[in-house]
Amino acid sequence: MTQAPLWQPTSDRVESANLTSFTRYLEQQHNVQLPDYPSLWQWSVDNPADFWSSIWDACGLIGEKGNLVVNHEEQMPGAEWFPEARLNYAENLLRTESDNVAIIFWGEDQTKRELSFNQLRLLVSQCQRALIRAGIGKGDRVAGYVANTPEAIVAMLAATSIGAVWCSASPDFGVDGVLDRFDQISPSLVFCTDGYYYNGKWVDCMEKNHAVMERLSKPCIHVVIPYQDPTQTMDNCWKDFLSIGSPGPLEFERVPFAHPLFVMFSSGTTGKPKCIVHSVGGTLIQHLKEHQLHSDIKPADRLFYFTTCGWMMWNWLVSALASKATLVLYDGSPFAGSQVLLFDLAEQHQVTHFGTSAKFIEACNKAGLHPQESHDLSHLRSLFSTGSPLAPESFRYVYEKIKSDVHLASISGGTDIISCFALGNPTLPVWIGELQCLGLGMAVDAFDPAGKPTRSDKGDLVCTKPFPCMPIGFWNDDDGARYKAAYFERFENVWCHGDFVEITEHNGMIIHGRSDAVLNPGGVRIGTAEIYRQVEKIDAVVESIVIGQQWQDDTRVVLFVVLRDGEDLNEELAHTIRTQIRQHATPRHVPAKIVQVTDIPRTKSGKIVELAVRDVVHGRPVINTESLANPEALRYFENRPELSV
């Protein structure tokens, strides 16, 4: 019997969706019939010039488009999008002039404030003039070692308004981690926060700020943003910096479509982080498409995403200003003071689109939270999840305990494309365990090891045609060698993303883990997510991480588990775990070893680091522990006697 979807949109919701209006627009403009999403997606990848030109027009990009949409459209890398265009990212985000709320900010439950669109524009104009007076101009790098506050957005918009390039790291990064990133791009100015709250405690950042500024290879300007009160006076403070730029009309430096906008940093767990350069036009047009069509964000909607300024979801969140949405910012621990603080935020500020990580949803489930009963979430239309694959149990939990009538969109892409390959669709049903659809204009496929599309098995996530949000390249990679090696070495003229995936019968996607973390016992490829999905069903297990250990000329599966307080890994629990995996996956998924640990290492954005654990188990050094939020957890995997037999 075919399983029913978890959720289906009503006919009214389908009719009112931006995606429905856009489809009709395409049918009229291009005299085509697009009766369903698969036909729309196919048309979008078969007709890239017409599609992306229509996105520019329908989503309302501000700028001069020019007549040519793409040069070298079959070349990857090498395609040139909108080569005649001129536009400015900040101009598009600051299009709204009103006293309506633009940004709502909570720093845990300790500090709160709001900015209207007009107040935001005024602050950006002051910061813009201050940057110009400080000698910052087009192409210069401006960095933020900042918390997720309104001032971070102001600084970014001011920098990009004059054609400067923005990059950021969150203040929980250590000094070496920040230097590994910023030193590669030589910023002319660095904004820092004086501290932040985490779990109710104040964390002072001034000592780290001074260490970063002293150790940067190139001296630069230093501006401190006081977290609790931005008008506070101190040395090199935000208030004094703004005072050198008197308010005035905003001016925007329109730049080519491929002009650098953001430098994004890879996690850096296998060496120094890659400096991935994203373009003004590519970022903007992709985000507008994803926000308005895939997320159904409309003017005055309220978008929240739990993120820091060190994760690409911050950039994705901020771009929603271009769709005239209100941004809801949160900085700190998601469970500070109360396990339901983020739901308090969603209720109080009538959030329409709530974004978080798969781990947060799993943690809410494990904690037995029931927001549908405890909170008024009547305004909530969409719930986004990313960071790691969302387990089937978490899909059920959302509909049973958070909200029965919500569009749940598990999304996946990454820093590499500052957006998504597969994501949500407000006009389609939600099937358990699946990302709903492939992104419009993205020729996404799954390739077998021979480089052929596969639908009967899992494969490597690829994109077979160029797309506008591909990186311009890597910083200081003049010949493009590192860029090509990162994505195009596996398959000729095809982007290979590094995820191990399955395209489903519903034309959706299941993520089975990272390709470089795929297990290979007996020569059979197994995605780690397949094991996590089963282990997470066991109440005694808080979280887990699985690796392949080289053993007797083969690979054996090793599962590490963190257990609830009071639980121990005895034979009975180990048997329960193995039985769950054997019955609901396959015998090949069953771990040869199960080992209890106290903690699991993860990146600053919350992703568990299978490769780092694998290196520790095999006695290899972890090259860059500065990229980890909790590097001390690596010691739990060293010299484990259980793994020597």
Phi, psi of 6 (to 5 degrees): -75, -30
H or E element that contains 315: helix 312-318
In the prediction, which pLDDT does 136 show? 97
3-state SS class at 299:
coil
Helical pair 48-58 and 18-30, crossing angle rounded to 10 deg: 130
CA distance 479 to 473: 9
- Please count the other Cβ atoms lying within 10 Å of the Cβ belonging to residue 480: 14
From the CA atom positions of the chain, what is the Rg in Å?
24
Joined together, the tokens standing for residue 349 give 């500020």
Please state the separation of Cα 11 from the chain's center in Å. 31
Q: What is the DSSP string of 148-186?
A: SSHHHHHHHHHHHHTT-EEEEE-TTS-HHHHHHHHHHH-
CA atoms within 13 A of residue 540's CA, in its CB half-sphere: 14
Report d(CA 329, CA 149) in Å as an integer: 7
Q: What is the pLDDT of residue 441?
A: 98
Please give the model's pTM, rounded to 2 decimal places.
Answer: 0.89
Can you list the residues of the chain whose pLDDT is less than 70? 1-2, 268-271, 523
Question: At a CB cut-off of 8 Å and minimum separation 6, what does 602 contact?
Answer: 608, 609, 628, 629, 630, 633
Instruction: Report the distance separating Cα 352 and Cα 370, nearest Å.
Output: 19
How far apart, in whole angstroms, are the C-alpha atoms of residue 380 and residue 199?
A: 26
Which letter does DSSP use for residue 505 in this model? T
Q: With left for phi above 0 and alpha for psi between -120 and 50, is residue 642 left, alpha or beta?
A: alpha
Q: Which residues contact 10 (CB under 8 A, 6 or more apart)?
A: none
| Interstrand relation of 189-193 and 141-145 (parallel, antiparallel or unpaired) | parallel
114-144: per-residue pLDDT in tens? 999 999 999 999 999 999 999 999 999 999 9
Give the contacts of 54 (CB within 8 A, at least 6 positions apart): 22, 25, 26, 29, 30
CB atoms within 10 A of CB 228: 15
pLDDT at 269: 56
Furthest-apart CA atoms within the chain: distance in Å:
71
Question: Mind listing the pLDDT tens digit for each residue in 278-333?
Answer: 999 999 999 999 999 999 999 999 999 999 999 999 999 999 999 999 999 999 99
